[in-house]
């Protein structure tokens, strides 16, 4: 078994598709109307239709799908440039900050209030014994 990708539920598929494509710059690989797959493997799905498919009934509420229990993580080679391009168009959680583990990231909400983090790439390869001395 292997994990493929998370699929956040969204209220307005067109608004979210435009947000991820135009604001974050993700390229659309396939658009099936109520499901959009981006070339990075990230995908979004119209919440009402997916609720009907999974639970056989939609959840009747206007609450945002984002519940402060999931963080969508992306990396960008130039976090400062990404911040400059994205920050004017989103509700920021915080600007670029260095985290306790050394990585610089910023966080914000998508239209459904899913929290998004964009961080600089991390070197997560196997430890180098020469660097541990």
Task: Convert the pLDDT of each residue in 39-85 to its tens digit.
Answer: 989 999 999 999 999 999 877 777 889 998 999 999 999 999 999 99
* Domains in the chain: boundaries: 9-131
CA 3 to chain centre: 16
Alpha-carbon distance of 99 to 116, in angstroms, equals: 15
Which of 116, 112, 114 has its CA nearest to residue 15?
112
Cβ-based neighbour number of residue 76 at 10 Å: 19
Query: Which of the listed CATH numbers 1.10.490.10, 1.20.120.160, 1.10.3720.10, 3.10.180.10 matches domain 9-131?
Result: 3.10.180.10
* Residue 133: pLDDT over 50: no
pTM, 2 dp: 0.87
Alpha-carbon distance of 45 to 10, in angstroms, equals: 6
């Amino acid at each position: 078994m292997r994990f493929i990708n998370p699929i956040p539920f969204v209220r307005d598929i067109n608004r979210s598709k435009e947000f991820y494509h135009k604001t974050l710059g993700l390229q659309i690989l396939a658009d099936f109307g109520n499901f959009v797959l981006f070339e990075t493997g990230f995908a979004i799905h119209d919440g009402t239709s997916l609720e009907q498919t999974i639970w056989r009934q939609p959840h009747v509420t206007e609450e945002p799908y984002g519940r402060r229990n999931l963080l969508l993580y992306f990396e960008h080679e130039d976090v400062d440039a990404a911040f400059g391009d994205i920050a004017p168009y989103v509700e920021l959680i915080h600007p670029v900050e260095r985290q306790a583990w050394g990585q610089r990231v910023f966080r914000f909400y998508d239209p459904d209030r899913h929290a998004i983090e964009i961080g600089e790439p991390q070197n997560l390869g196997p430890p180098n014994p020469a660097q541990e001395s």
